[in-house]
Amino acid sequence: MKYRSVGNSGVRVSEIALGSWLTFGKSLDDEIAAEIIETAYNNGINFFDTSDNYAGRKAEKLLGEALSRFPRHKLFVASKVFFPVGEGPNDKGLSRKHIFEEVKASLAALNMDYLDLYQCHRYDYSTPLEETVRAMSDLVRNGTILYWGVSMWSGTQVKRACKIADRINGYRPISNQVMYNFLDRQIEFNGIQKVCRKLGVGLLAFSPLAEGILTGKYQNNIPDNSRAANKKINNFIKQRLTEKNLTESARIVESAEKLETTPAKLSLAWLLNRKNVSSVITGVSHATQLLENIDATNIDVPKLYLKSLENSPFKKLYLSTYYKSLRLYRYLKYEFSS
């Protein structure tokens, strides 16, 4: 396993991380999940990512129980806060109250004394950003968390958070967890990647295989034992199984055959070659999948192939659509503010 720094911070995490979205406590038996976690640790993965709202906190509990057998100082454990965990008015968001109460609940579920990384799962428009930055900075100061980060924040939001942290002598976020894969590359065009790189905020890429589409298994049909066939967890992938995405994934499959590797390994290796990516968060349903993902760190993809994969027939169309949407947004913003 190879390791990288998260942004400009001094902490180093495995290039491949193990995530728990849609798997731990939901689609997998606990025994299989524990086997996957043990396989991850034994093969050099030190970065484990979860959230307070994954499977109603079952993911945190399962992860904490499985990791309790390993030395705490060898682990980098991350959780998140934002989405509702109850029906009360303060059971969601990024207020100081909710952040402090949720980090305590997450630590209890994980049976740990501190979190290595605590992430704002989304941006909270109902809470002043300074309140959130101060809360996170205070948690760092008292040792409850070592670092804090964000997830799916825009470049402007990350920039504002860093400015506030500097002004109040607080702590900047070290990471932005984003959806990033060969099919979902909007962070390259909407400024997120550029801003985070400039500010020293590392990118943690989730859904690196587009929920399995980039493995090539959906090219002809939907396998019975696949995520798309599982009604419990296929809400997101159903929207991705478009003709465009299948055409793009076919290019990965073709290139993988030429390189004598698998589409999954090539997709992960491609992502690890992108700018400012600190780690790639993978979700798997069995240990053999995880071992294949880990092997992607050993692939040396020729620059010729990387360049050829960049020349997507859909890239110009995507850019054109993006910039048209941006111009419309700016026009409407001007019209309604004047």
Question: Which tokens hold the place of 317?
Answer: 């169309």
Q: What is the pLDDT of residues 152-186, one digit of tens each?
A: 999 999 999 999 999 999 999 999 999 999 888 99
Residue 262 reports pLDDT greater than 90: yes
User: Does 88 share its domain with 28?
Assistant: yes
User: Does 325 share its domain with 236?
Assistant: no
Of 2, 279, 283, 294, the closest CA to residue 149 belongs to 279
User: Does 137 share its domain with 241?
Assistant: yes
CB 133 within 8 A of CB 163: no
Positive or negative, the CA dihedral 303, 307, 310, 313 is negative
- In the prediction, which pLDDT does 27 show? 78
Q: What is the pLDDT of residues 23-82, one digit of tens each?
A: 888 878 999 999 999 999 999 999 999 999 999 999 999 999 999 999 999 999 999 999
Catalytic residues: 54
- How far is it, in rounded angstroms, from Cα 213 to Cα 139? 39
In this structure, the strands spanning 202-206 and 277-282 are parallel
Percent of the chain with pLDDT over 90: 67
Strand partners, 120: 81, 150
Question: Residue 298: CB partners within 8 Å, gap ≥ 6?
Answer: none
Average pLDDT over residues 205-223: 77
Neighbours of 253 (CB within 10 A): 17
- In the prediction, which pLDDT does 245 show? 72
- How far is it, in rounded angstroms, from Cα 234 to Cα 226? 9
User: Does 31 share its domain with 13?
Assistant: yes
User: Does 266 share its domain with 124?
Assistant: yes
Q: What is the pLDDT of residues 96-152, one digit of tens each?
A: 999 999 999 999 999 999 999 999 999 999 999 999 999 999 999 999 999 999 999
- How far is it, in rounded angstroms, from Cα 111 to Cα 65? 8
User: Does 126 share its domain with 196?
Assistant: yes
User: Does 70 share its domain with 196?
Assistant: yes
User: Does 66 share its domain with 39?
Assistant: yes
- How far is it, in rounded angstroms, from Cα 310 to Cα 185? 11
Percent of the chain with pLDDT over 70: 83
- How far is it, in rounded angstroms, from Cα 76 to Cα 90? 28
Average pLDDT over residues 307-317: 61
CB 208 within 8 A of CB 297: no
| Confidence band, pLDDT 50/70/90 cuts, at residue 87 | very high
User: Does 241 share its domain with 328?
Assistant: no
- How far is it, in rounded angstroms, from Cα 179 to Cα 191? 14
User: Does 179 share its domain with 328?
Assistant: no
Average pLDDT over residues 320-325: 51
Average pLDDT, the chain: 87
What domain range includes position 52? 3-301
Q: What is the pLDDT of residues 268-302, one digit of tens each?
A: 999 999 999 999 999 998 999 999 999 999 988 87
User: Does 185 share its domain with 99?
Assistant: yes
User: Does 148 share its domain with 247?
Assistant: yes
State the residue for tokens 């947004």. Answer: 329
- How far is it, in rounded angstroms, from Cα 228 to Cα 240? 10
Residue 316 reports pLDDT greater than 60: no
Instruction: Please count the structural domains in the chain.
Output: 2
- In the prediction, which pLDDT does 221 show? 59
- How far is it, in rounded angstroms, from Cα 268 to Cα 264? 6
Region for 329 from its dihedrals, namely left if φ exceeds 0, alpha if ψ lies in -120 to 50, beta otherwise: alpha
Check which CATH number belongs to the domain holding 94 and give it.
3.20.20.100
- How far is it, in rounded angstroms, from Cα 250 to Cα 256? 10
In this structure, the strands spanning 115-120 and 145-151 are parallel
